[in-house]
Every structure is written in C-alpha cells, then in structure tokens.
Chain A
Amino acid sequence: MKKRRAIFYQCGICIFVISVIGILINNLTINLIRTDLGFNFSWLFKPASFALAEHPLPYSSSDSYAWALFIGWLNSLKVIISALLLATFLGTLVGFARTGKNSLLGLISAGYITIIRQTPLLLQLMFWYFIGFLGLKENIFIHIKNIFKISNQGIEFYGLTLSSEFSALLFGLGVFTSAYIAEVIRGGILSVPRGQWEAFRSLGLSEQKGLFSIIIPQALPAIIPGLTSQYLNLAKNSTLAIAVGYSDIYAINDTIINQTGRAIECFIILLTSFLLLNLLISNSMEIINKIIIKSRKYN
C-alpha cells in the first residue's frame, strides 16, 4: 500500500524531471540550430591562437585549445596551492592570536577578521592588484640585495619571479581565506572543554606546551572538516583571477567562449575541471585526516 504509493510518486517526479529537461534540451537544440553552432568537441584540437602571459609548461599560440585549457588548469592549481599555504599560515596565526591571552592581540585579530569578512573578495582582489602591486609609485618598492624585490612587476625572490597578477591573486585569496580559517581554528580550540586547560595548568605545564601537546591534538578533529570546506571555497574563489587578468582555467574558458561561442561545451569542461579539483582537495584532506587519526592511538 505504502510502497505502491512511493513508486507512484517517484514515477511522477521522474516524468516531471524528464519532461522539464526534455523541454529545455528541445529549446536548446532549436537555439543551437538557429545560431548554427551544434554541439561537438572537435574544436578542442584546433590552434588556440591566443597568447598566455603565464604558462608553467611550454605554450605558444599555435598550440591547441585543449593544451591551453590544460595550462589554465595548471595555473589554477598553482595559485590554489600557494594561496592555500599562505592562508593556512596566516589563519593559524590570527586564530591563535584571537584565542590567546593577550587581549590587545585578540582585539587586533578580531578587527582583521571583521574587516576581511565583511567586504567582498572581488573588491579585495582589485585592491591588491591596482593598489598593492600596480599602484606602487617607484618602479621598485622594496629591494634587498638582489634577494627580494617587490615592484609593479611583481615579486622577485632568489630568481623566482611571481607576476603582479599572480601575487595579487595569491595575497587576495590568502588573506581573505585566512580570516575564515582563523574562525575555524578558534572554533576548534573553543570546542576543547575548559577542564582540559585547567587540567594541564594544574599539572604545571606551561601555556605553550599545554596548547601544543594537550589542546591542539584534541581540537584537530573539529578543525579538519572546517579547513577542508575553506580550501574548497578557496579553489572556487580562485576563479576571480579573471578580474586581475591571471589566466586560470575559468579565464581561459572565458576567452575561448568569446572566440568560438561554444558556451555549452566550455561549461561542461569547467564543471569537470572543478569536480577534479574538488576531488583532489577533499581526498588529500581525507588522507591527512586519516594520518591524524592514526597517530592518535586512543581513538
């Protein structure tokens, strides 16, 4: 009786969803025929004929669209990983400052968090790009004995040059995400019962020693999931690269659509690229999580 009704409902929903999708696809084909585009991926192997300012692997404008997309994906990966490291470092510092005993530091980090979190990322990125890097008045801003240079050409460090687009994106994403990571870390530390603090203090352990050997190991299980979702957000937010002119996967898709008009195919490519990126991040975090759990025998 109940089962039959369940099957009936599901069939109904199924028919509804299929017919909605059918209508949409029907409209789509009519529109595609009208605009004379069709749906195929053979254009991927034609020469891209646009230049890329940054490419970790050799690339020239005679290479195929597919290769350009792959370069874009690598560029995305590059900025995501470096911003992720920066954000984790900054976020941990701010998070500890926020929970620490020094209320002056706590006040400053609270201010940092509210300013960063209550303004749009895009605005912050533009700030970093147009003011932080392009806006530098002299050609070279900081110059320390050929080791470290910051100028409107970007950052140079021991022969490793980072373009100003990359640097702006790196700092923008890193600083933005660090404010969220700080809150994750603060939440994790606060999730450890107060009794644990009192317990290690009563044993005569110093604050630092207690924090690192008692509190943080217990806070980690609460921190890791929050951290993972912040990393995933960072990866998604890295697509704002287009605002500062860095050629990440989204920016290259955008260029290709402008050239060829193949919006649907590009949408599918972008979707797959991001599913891949997400899988990469969440699986690595899963591995880290397992290592942490394994290292804690009592669990």
Chain B
Amino acid sequence: MKPIVIAKNLTKSYTKGIRALDNVSLTVNQGKVLVVMGPSGSGKSTLIRTFNGLETFDQGEIDILGIKLDCNHNERKIQRIRKRVGMVFQQFNLFPHLSILENITLAPVNVQKRHRSEAEEYGMYLLGQMGIDSHAKKYPSQLSGGEQQRVAIARALALKPELLLFDEPTSALDPERINEVLDAMRRLAKQGMTMIVVTHEIGFAKDVSDQVLFMDSGKVIETSTPDLFFSNAKHDRSRKFLNQLDKN
C-alpha cells in the first residue's frame, strides 16, 4: 500500500497558547477515504488546509505524494503539491466572472499548459460525470448550490489530482441538495480516488470511509474504522459529539 499523505506531529497556533493543531499525526494510503469529524473550532479545517499549503504550521512535517513540507513554507514545493492535489471548499468558491466550462479549464490550460480543446473536452467529460454538462455555458450565479458544488468538484478533478481534499462540502447546501453532492463523492471513492473529507454526514462516513478521525481542540482524540467509531466509540468526547449529531 502506497501512502499518499503522512503527517507527523503537526502543531500550529494562531494566537499564543491556543493550539489549532496539537501534535497531529496521520497516514492516508492510496485509494483510501479518510473522514475527519469534530465540533466546530476543533482544527479539522486547519488540518485539511495544511495539506495544500493554504495554512502554514509551526512544528512537524508532512509528506504528500513524496514531497516533504516542513514548517518553513517553501512556495515552490507547495506549488508542486497544488498541481497534484485538488480541493473543494465549503462555499464552492467558483469564479463568478467565468462560465462553468471556463472555471474548469482555467487551471489545466494555464497551469498544466494543456491545449484548450483537449482541456475543454476533458472538462465536458467531467461535467458529464457530475451530471451537469448541460450547464457548461452558464455562469455560477445561474446554478443552484448543489450544482455549483458539483462544478467545484469537477474543477478540482480537471487537474487529474492524485488526492482530493473536501472541506465541509455539504455544509452550505440546502438539505435536499446534499445528496446529489454526496452521490458524486461516492462515485469518486468507488473509482479509487484517495480522499480526505471533513464532514458531519454520518451516513456518508459509514458507507464510504475506510478510516474516521475524530478531533477536538486541535488534538486527535480517536482514529478507528467507521464501524467501530459509530457503534462503539472508545472516547467520551466522541460519544458526546455523536449523540449531539443524532439529536440534530
């Protein structure tokens, strides 16, 4: 099994004394899906954002796809990582002034220097996969939230990434729109995509993930398989959190 992400002892604090990340270590192997859960402010977003250099860290090291990052923010290495790692945000963050297809082809054409026609063809294929190829000529504001998020996934896939990061991809969606995004993510997992997903969706975690990581106050409280975690969590805080989620 080839490890894609190895993080060792990551520590970060925004303000002195309060740790957003506290000695976090984890490994994700190729083709596996890691779900990160935890209450808000637990540091799970910070964690996932360090994996493509959107956040720096103070101590520890990360190895992503064989590229090693330490606390000295090396722009060139981060650039190399970003070309091979895709990211999907909570608020979609599509570019409002570009059409759907242009959103998708921007990076392949300008970062990977692929031919426009080839990039467009692949973009249309991805939109087809996401079931939104009929919207290719539209602009983000003309689409629903769920459709926008599927475009964002297609945009991340357009660089043919070896790892996909999802930062609460369904939290900003209307309840009836959540499943269309989760289904797309399920299909990706089936195709063998390596994914790290920050989410509160228990159903998705149960079905798809290979590993669940629970965080609180910057620390990893517990790592286990989804079966074990949801039926018989070891830790008090995990159980409390799951109870809370069930109530909602």
A2: chain B residues at CB < 8 Å are: 73, 75
> How many A-B contacts at CB < 8 Å in the complex?
4
Tell me the B67-109 residues at the A interface (CB within 8 Å). 73-75
A1 CA to B75 CA in the complex, in Å?
9
B73: chain A residues at CB < 8 Å are: 2
Tell me the A227-251 residues at the B interface (CB within 8 Å). none
B75: chain A residues at CB < 8 Å are: 1-2
Q: Which residue of chain B has the shortest Cβ distance to A2 in the bound complex?
A: B75
A1: chain B residues at CB < 8 Å are: 74-75
B74: chain A residues at CB < 8 Å are: 1
Q: Digit string of B46-86 for contact with A (CB within 8 Å is 1, else 0)?
A: 00000000000000000000000000011100000000000
A187 CA to B113 CA in the complex, in Å?
47
Q: Which residue of chain A has the shortest Cβ distance to B74 in the bound complex?
A: A1
A1 CA to B74 CA in the complex, in Å?
8
Q: Digit string of A144-170 for contact with B (CB within 8 Å is 1, else 0)?
A: 000000000000000000000000000
**B178 CB to nearest chain A CB (Å):** 32
A2 CA to B73 CA in the complex, in Å?
9
Q: Which residue of chain A has the shortest Cβ distance to B76 in the bound complex?
A: A1
Q: Digit string of A1-35 for contact with B (CB within 8 Å is 1, else 0)?
A: 11000000000000000000000000000000000
Q: Which residue of chain A has the shortest Cβ distance to B75 in the bound complex?
A: A2
A1 CA to B73 CA in the complex, in Å?
10
**B77 CB to nearest chain A CB (Å):** 11
**B74 CB to nearest chain A CB (Å):** 7
Q: Which residue of chain B has the shortest Cβ distance to A5 in the bound complex?
A: B75
A194 CA to B75 CA in the complex, in Å?
49
Q: Digit string of A266-292 for contact with B (CB within 8 Å is 1, else 0)?
A: 000000000000000000000000000
Tell me the B16-64 residues at the A interface (CB within 8 Å). none
A1 CA to B78 CA in the complex, in Å?
14
**B68 CB to nearest chain A CB (Å):** 16
**B53 CB to nearest chain A CB (Å):** 13
**B111 CB to nearest chain A CB (Å):** 20
**A7 CB to nearest chain B CB (Å):** 16
Q: Which residue of chain A has the shortest Cβ distance to B72 in the bound complex?
A: A1
**A158 CB to nearest chain B CB (Å):** 61
Tell me the B93-148 residues at the A interface (CB within 8 Å). none
A3 CA to B5 CA in the complex, in Å?
29
**B206 CB to nearest chain A CB (Å):** 44
A2 CA to B79 CA in the complex, in Å?
14
Q: Digit string of B145-176 for contact with A (CB within 8 Å is 1, else 0)?
A: 00000000000000000000000000000000
A1 CA to B76 CA in the complex, in Å?
10
A1 CA to B72 CA in the complex, in Å?
10
**A98 CB to nearest chain B CB (Å):** 31
A2 CA to B75 CA in the complex, in Å?
8
Q: Which residue of chain A has the shortest Cβ distance to B73 in the bound complex?
A: A2
A1 CA to B79 CA in the complex, in Å?
15
Pick the 4 closest A-B CB pairs, nearest first: A2-B75, A1-B74, A1-B75, A2-B73
Contacts A/B (CB < 8 Å), 4 sampled: A1-B74, A1-B75, A2-B73, A2-B75
